[in-house]
Structure 1
Amino acid sequence: MGAEFKAKGANMQLGPGLNVARVPRGGRNFEYMSGEDPHLGAMMARPVVKGIQSKGVLATAKHFILNNQEDHRGNMSSNVDERTLMQIYMPPFAAAVDAGVGSIMCGYNRVNNVWACEDAWTLKLLRRQLHFTGWVMSDWGATQSTAAAASAGLDMEMPGGSFFTADKFRAAIGNGSLTSAAISNMATHVLTPMFAKGIMDSAQPSGRPDANATSSSHDALAVHLATAAAVLLKNEGQLLPLTRGAALAVIGPAAKCDAPKPDYGFGWPPSIGCLNSGGGSGGVAGAHYDGILGALTPLAASVTFDEGNDARAAAATAAAADVAVVVVGSTSCEGADRSSVELPEGQLSYLRAVAAAQPRTVVVLMAPGAVAVGQWAEAVAAIVCFFLPGQAQGTAVANILSGTSNPSGRLPVTFPTVDNQVGFSRSQYPGVAMPDGLQTNYAEKLAVGYRWYHATGTTPGFCFGHGLSYSTYTYGALQASPTGVAFTLTNSGTVAGAEVAQLYITFPSSAGEPPRQLKGFRKVLLQPGESATVTLPLGPRDFSIWDVAAHVWAGVGGVFEAEVGASSCDIRARANLTLK
C-alpha cells in the first residue's frame, strides 16, 4: 500500500482503520482490521503501520475513538466507561503508536457527549498513556471549534480551514482561550514524524492521484491475499475441493457482473454488483477484475449460469448439474450501516430452492463483515466466505474450490444465527434520541463480540476464529507458564496445509472479566504427517486489567486457564497457571 500511495504522489495514507467491530452491521467494518478483538487489532496494526511507513509514506490510524457505527455518526455519543475504553477499544491504537504511526485521525462521533476531536480525556491519553509524538488530524469536517479542539489535543483540521485559521487562532490568543505555545506544540507534532520518517529529506513524490500504481507483483499479491483470506466455514462430506470435470451450475448475479472500472469518487463503487469491494472513501475498484464465472469455467466439464431471478428455474438448473455453486452476499458503505446482517430476501429465495434441489451445493459468500447464517447454513453442504476479495475475486474462488490452495483463513468476527443475536437494545444500538443528540450506551461493557457469546453461553452460527482446512490437525498436551505456552501440532491429514492455532486466557472470576480472551495466535504450515512445536508468548499485560482508580494497568493474581484450539469454540488443549 505504501508503495502504491507513493506512486500516486502521496506521502500520507489515511489508514489503517482500527476500530473494533462492536456493531455487526457497521458500515465500515470492512475497512477495520481489528475484527471484534483488541488483541487481533493490535497484532495487525504494528506490521501494517511499519510496512506503509517503510516506503516513505506516513500512516494514519483511524478513527479515534469509538467510531463504531456509521448510522448517525455525526450526532451520536458513544458512552463508555474507562475500563472498557482501555481494554477493548484502545489496544489497536496503542499498537499503532508503538509502531511509530505518524498521525491519528479523530472521528465524527462524540465520546461521553464530547466531540471526539475536542475530547481532552481521550486525546490526552494518547500523549500521556500511549506516548504518541505524532499529530492528530480531524476526519473531514469533524472539527467543531477552535480553542476547545486545539487545547484538547487536535493538531490539524481537515480538509480545509473553518476553525483552524490564522484569524481564529489570533482571536483565541487575544482573548486568552489559547496560547501561542499550544500552537507551537501543534506544529511540532506535525513536523516530528515528517522529519523522523524522512519525509522532509526527500522531494515530494511525483506520481498522480489517478495513476494506475499497480504492478505484476502487486497483482500477484492481490491473488495471494484474496485466496489466503478465504474461510472454509463448512465442508460436509468433503464436497470441496471439487472434482475436476464436473458439471457445474453457477447461480447468482455476482458470479457474472460487469467488470468494474476505476472510480476515484466518494460513494458506492461500480463493483457493488460483484460484491467484491465496499463503498465510500475506502472503496476501491481495481484496474482490472477477475470474474467468478470466467474463473470457474476451465475447472468444469460444463458450466450453466443462472441469475437466480426465478428460484424455481435456478433450482432446476442446479438439479441438472453435478454441483451447484451459489454466489450470495452483500457489501456496505461509509455513511450508513447495513440494515441487517441477514442475506437479502431475494438471495435467500434462490439459495433455499437450489439447496432443496441439489444436495451438493456450495455457497460462495461475499461479505463486509458478519453474516447471519441460521436460515440457510444447515441446508447446504459447503460454505466458503471470501469477505470482499477485491480485483482477484474470481481467481481466489477458483483457487479454493479447485483445491489449488488449501483454505487457511479464520473468522475475525462471529457469524450469528440471526440478526442482532447479541440482543442489543435500542439504547445500545443505534442509540436513543435525546435533545443533545443520539445517546449510544456501551452497556455490554467488556462483553463485545465473541466474549458475549461465551459469557452468556450462547451458540452462534460460526464462532470467532473458525475456519476449516482440506487437512486435519492434532494438538498435543499444553504446557503453560506466565511467560507462554507450548504444544505439539501435527498435520494428521493427507495434504499440506496451514493451521492457525489460537491461545485464549480465562481470568480468575474475581477479576470480573469475560471468559476466554484471545491472547495469541500463530499460522503454522505443515506437510502431511509433519509435527511442529508451537510456542505462543505471554507477558504481564496479558494478565492485567485496567485499574480505573489509579488509571494504570494492574496485574491480577490467582489461577488462570490457558486454552489452545482452532477457534474460540474449538478448544483442543487446556492447562492452568498461577500468578501471585
Structure 2
Amino acid sequence: MDEPDLGLLVDKLDVTRKVRLLTGAAGWRTHDEPDIGLRSVVVSDGPIGVRGQGWDERSTSLALPSPTALAATWDVDLVRRLGVLLAAEARRKGVDVLLAPTLNLHRSPFAGRHFECYSEDPLLTARIGAAYITGVQSGGVAATAKHYVANDSETERMTLDADVDERTLHEVYLVPFEAAVEAGVWVVMSAYNGVNGVTMSESPLLDEPLKGSWVFDGLVVSDWGAIRSTAPSARAAQDLAMPGPESPWNDLAAAVENGEVPESALDLKVERLLRLASRVGALNGGTSRKPQVDAPLDLLREAVAAGTVLLRNDGVLPLAPGVKIAVLGPNAATARIQGGGSAGVYPESVVSFVDGLEEVAEVVHTAGVRLQDRPAPLTTANARHPHHGEPGVLVRLLDADGAELSAEHRFLGRVLEVPLVDGARTIEVHAKLDVDVTGEWTISVAGFGRLTVDLDGTRLVDEDVPLDTDDPAVIHLTPPYRQATAHLEAGTAVDLVARRELRENTGTATVLAADPPRLSDADELARAVGLARTSDVAVVVVGTTDEIESEGFDRTSLALPGRQDELVRAVRAVNDRTVVVVNSGGPVELPWRDEVAAVLLTWFPGQEAGHGLADVLLGVREPGGRLPTTWPAAQQDVPVSNVQPDHGVLRYDEGLHVGYRAWHRAGTAPAYWFGHGLGYTTWAYETVTATESGVRVRLRNTGNRPGREVVQVYVTRPTSTIDRPDRWLAAWTTTAAAPGETVEVDIDIPERAYQHWTTTGWTTEPGHFTLLVGPSSATTPLTLQHHP
C-alpha cells in the first residue's frame, strides 16, 4: 500500500494537537485524531508473548520460550515463524505494536534481564533479532528494537550512565540495532540509561547513526517514563513519550511558543507517528492484516526442543521406551516458563515437566528441596469467590467509608491492575481458601500503603509499607510482602480478606497469597532419594526463582538457590543414570556437572515445556540448541562481571572483549563455551575451502542417528596492529545428515566480519585473516587463511 501524504496531514494540525499526539493517551495506547483519520495505536509488552493492554490473568496469551532459548536454536527460520505467530497473537488482542525484541547483550551473566536478551555475541543477537522482527512485521504488526542502547544491566537502570568508547559501541552494542534497521524495523525504543554523559531520550545517537547513516524512517518511542525533560528531549530525535497522559512533553506548546523547540521538530515526530500508524492499519480507515498460524502449540513444542542444549551425555540419552523415571526437583511440577518483570504473560495452560513425561513414561515425583521464593498467590485451584463459590477471588474497589465502588471476579490472588474509579481509596481481595493440609500456613499480602489481612474476621497483618522506589517494575509488578502464620485444618474453608490503601504513584498491584506447611527439608530430600533409588532413571530439574532472575535488579550470585546442588549429588549417589535439567534463563554454576550422566539446559521454555522436554528425553526430537552465551564453571572466573555503577557511571572497560572473547583473552576455561551443544550424534569436520563469498565446509555424521549441526565460522588475527578479540563470530549455517552421510555447506561471510570502526567509519586492515571453523568458539578443527 502506498504511503499517504504525511506532510499534508501534519499541516492540518495546530501546535496543540501535534503536542497531544506526541504523548500516549494512556499506558498502552496513543491518542487518536479523527480529523486526519488517525485511530489510537495500541502497544503491548513482549517478547515471549503478547500480553495486551495491561496485566489481567483473564486475558491469556501464548507463551514462547525465552529469548535466550530462541537464540540457542541458531535457527533464523524458526524464529521468523515464531514472529509470525506473535503477529497473529497481536491481532487477536487488538495490538498494533509489540514492544520487542530486546537487542541488548549478555555483557555479564549477572545481568538481571539476561533471559530477555539473546546472546553475548552481537552477530548472533543481530541475526536472531532480525528474524524475529521480519516475522512479526510480516503480519502487519510493528516490532520494537529495544533498548537503544547499552541497557545491559538493571542496577540503577533508570539513571546509570554507560561509559562506552566509540569503537566498542559500533562494533559490539550498536550491531544488533543496525541489523534491526536493515531488517526494516518500524519502531526503536530509547533506553532509560545514558551513554557517555547523555540520557538516551536526549542522545545524539538517536540522530546519528540511527536516523542518519542508517536511514531509520520509523518511530523512536521512549521506554516507559524515560523522558524526564521537555525541550532537551524534544529537540533530540526522540518521537513519542510513553506512557500518558502525564508527561514532560505536555508542556511542548509553551516550549515552541518561547522558541526552545522549533515547530518543525514536532512536525517530523508527528510524521513518523503517522507513518507507523499507516503501516499498522491505524490511518485513514486502514485494515489490519490477520495472519493465521496452523497448530501454534505444535510450533511452540518444536521450539522447546530446538532451543534445548545438551551440555553433557555419557550415553544415557535418549531414554529407551518403558523406563520408570523419578522426576525430582523444585521446578519439576511447576516449571518456570518465563522470567520475572514486565515481559510476563498469562498462558491459558502450562505443561509442566512432570505433566509432559507422564504422558510417555511411568513417572514418580517429589520436589526434593524447597526454594525460598515469593509467596504463592491464590489460584482457581485453591480459592473460591466468597459469595457464589466459583473458582477465583473477588476484587473490589472501596471508597473512604468502605463502600463498594466496583467489583470483579478474578482468577488469581496476584492482581496487578484494577480499573480505577473516582473516589477509590482501597483495593480488597477476598476469597474462600480451601485448606488441604493441616498445619501452620503462611498468609501473605503485597502492596504499598497500609496493608491488612483478615482470616475469618481475625486481623493477621496490619502494616504500613512506604513507597521507597521509583522503579516501575517494582511498583507495578513486585511490591513487597508482609505475612503471618495461622494453624489451619485440612477439609475446612477459611475466609481471607486482604486490603491495601491506594496512595499516589503506588499503582494498584495487590497480592493475596497462602502457602501450606511442607515436609521438613530432611524428609523431603530423603523422599527424593528413595524415589531415585527405585527408578530406572532420575531426572532432576533444578533452576532459579523470580527473586533471582527478573527485571529490576541484577544477580549477586550464580549459585543455584537452596539445597539443589545437594539434591543432585544425593540422587546421583543412588542412581548413576541421573539426568539434570537446568531450568534457568541465564548461566548458573553446575558444580556436579561432570558427576552426572547427562545435563540438559531448557532455559525458560514457555508453556509447552513438558512436551518439549519429553520429546528430547525420549529421542522423538534431537536437542537442537547451542549455547548463545558462555557458561562459567565458577562465578569468580567470569572475566566481565561488573554490573555495578560507580557514582552513577558504569564503565565498559573491557571494550570489545565481551563473552567468549573475554574468556579467550583471560585464558581461563569456562564450564561450557559459546556455541557448545552435543545433539544425539557426532560429527567429523573434514575440509574447508574458500569460495567467492565465503567458505565451503565438508563434514560427516559419524554417529548412528540422524542429526543437525550448527557450523560456526570465527575470524582471528593475532598479529593485528590494533586491539582485537582473540576471535569473533563471522557467520554460521545449519545442516542435517543421516548416519554416515557426508554433506557440504556454503557459508557466506560478510565484508563487515573483517572490518573495524575508526573515527572515519568502517575500514579493513590490510593483510591476511585466519578463519576458524567448528562446532563452538573453542573447538575449531578447520582453519583457512583469507585475504579480504
- TM-score, structure 1 as length reference: 0.90
Contact 2:584–2:603 (8 Å) recurs in 1: yes
Matched position secondary structure for 2:781: strand
Cα deviation, residue 124, structure 1: 2.8
| Structure-2 change in CA distance of 1:558 and 1:214 (3 Å) | same
Is 2:300 the partner of 1:90? no
1:387-466 equivalent positions in 2, closer than 5 A: 387-424=603-640, 428-432=642-646, 434=647, 438-466=648-676
Instruction: Identify which of 255, 259, 265 aligns with 1:172.
Output: 255
Q: 2:145 maps to which residue?
A: 61
1:196 Cα offset (Å): 4.8
1:193-208 to 2 correspondence within 5 Å?
A: 193-196=276-279, 199-200=282-283, 203=286
Q: Provide closer, same or farther for how the CA distance between residues 159 and 304 of structure 1 changes in structure 2, counting only shifts above 3 A.
A: closer
Match of 1:246 among 323, 327, 330: 323
Match of 1:501 in 2: 711
- Does structure 2 conserve the Cα–Cα contact (< 8 Å) formed by 1:115 and 1:144? no
Q: Give 1:270-309 correspondences, 5 Å limit.
A: 274-301=335-362, 303-308=364-369, 309=521
Contact residue 133 and residue 193 of structure 1 kept, 8 A: no
- Which residue in the other structure is 2:601 paired with? 385
Aligned to 2:94: 9
- Give the SS at the match of 2:709: strand
The reply to whether residue 255 of structure 1 matches residue 305 of structure 2 is no
CA contact (8 A) 1:278 1:284 kept: no
Asked whether the equivalents of residues 9 and 204 of structure 1 are also in contact (C-alpha less than 8 Å), the reply is no
**1:188 equivalenced with 2:271 (yes/no):** yes
The one-letter amino acid of 2:763's match is: A
The answer to whether the Cα contact below 8 Å between 1:451 and 1:515 also exists between their aligned partners in 2 is yes
Q: Look up the equivalent residue of 1:553 and give its one-letter code.
A: W
Q: Give the CA deviation at 1:175.
A: 2.7
Q: Where in structure 2 are the equivalents of 1:445-524 lying within 5 Å?
A: 445-480=655-690, 483-507=693-717, 508-524=719-735
Equivalent residue in structure 2 for 1:43, among 127, 130, 142? 127
In 1: Cα distance, 2:120 partner to 2:263 partner: 42
Q: Which amino acid aligns with 1:185?
A: L
- Name the SS of the counterpart of 1:510 in structure 2: coil
1:423 deviates by 4.0
Q: Distance in 1 between matches of 2:94 and 2:108?
A: 35
Q: Which residue in 2 is equivalent to 1:336? A: 553
Q: Indicate conservation of the 8 Å contact 2:357/2:363, yes or no.
A: no
Q: Which residue of 2 aligns with 1:350?
A: 567
- Equivalent residues of 1:415, 1:464 under 8 A apart: yes
Q: Which moved further from structure 2: 570-579 or 197-206?
A: 197-206
Higher relative contact order, chain-length normalized (CA < 8 Å, sep 6+) = 2
* Contact 2:554/2:643 (8 A) holds in 1: no
SS in 2 for 1:255: coil
Tell me if structure 2 keeps the 8 A contact 1:306–1:317.
no
Deviation (angstroms), 1:466:
0.5
Aligned to 1:30: 115
How big is the shift at 1:122?
4.8
Partner of 1:222: 300
Distance of aligned partners of 1:162 and 1:123 in 2 relative to their CA distance in 1, 3 Å threshold: farther
Give the Å deviation of 1:298.
4.1
Distance across 2 between alignment mates of 1:559 and 1:553: 17
CA deviations 1:76-110 (Å, max 9, x no partner) are: 11111011011111111111101111110011111
Alpha-carbon offset, residue 439 of structure 1: 1.4
The amino acid of 2:543's aligned partner reads G
Q: Name the aligned partner's letter for residue 157 of structure 1.
A: A
- Percent identity between the aligned chains? 37
Alignment partners' CA distance in 2, 1:197 and 1:399: 38
User: 531, 535, 538: which one pairs with 2:742?
Assistant: 531
Q: Deviations over 1:346-398 (max 9, x none)?
A: 2122122212332211001111112222x221221100101011100100110
* Cα distance in 2 between the residues matched to 1:203 and 1:336: 41
Q: CA deviation digits over 1:394-419, x for unaligned, max 9?
A: 00110111111111111101111112
Q: Which amino acid aligns with 1:96?
A: A
Pairwise CA RMSD of aligned residues?
2.1
Cα distance in 2 between the residues matched to 1:338 and 1:301: 37
Secondary structure in structure 1 of the residue aligned to 2:594? helix
Deviations 1:530-562 (A, max 9, x none): 222111111321110000x21x11112212110
Deviation at 1:5, TM superposition (A): 0.5
CA deviation profile, 1:41-90 (whole Å, cap 9, x unmatched): 11112221111111111111101111101121012111110110111111
Deviation, 1:304, is 4.5
| Bigger shift: residues 284-293 or 118-127 | 118-127
For residue 331 of structure 2, give the secondary structure of its aligned residue in structure 1.
Answer: helix
Q: State the alpha-carbon separation in 2 of the partners of residues 216 and 358 from structure 1.
A: 42
Match for 2:310 among 226, 232, 235? 232
Per-residue CA distance 1:486-517 (angstroms, 9 max, x = gap): 11122121111110111111134223110221
| Deviation larger for 468-477 or 316-325 | 316-325
Structure 2 unaligned segments of length 5 or more: list them: 1-85, 370-520
The 8 Å contact of residues 478 and 487 in structure 1, kept in 2 or not, is answered as yes
- The one-letter code of the counterpart of 2:338 is S
By percentage of residues, which structure has more helix?
1
Q: 1:201 to 1:358 in 2, by over 3 A?
A: farther
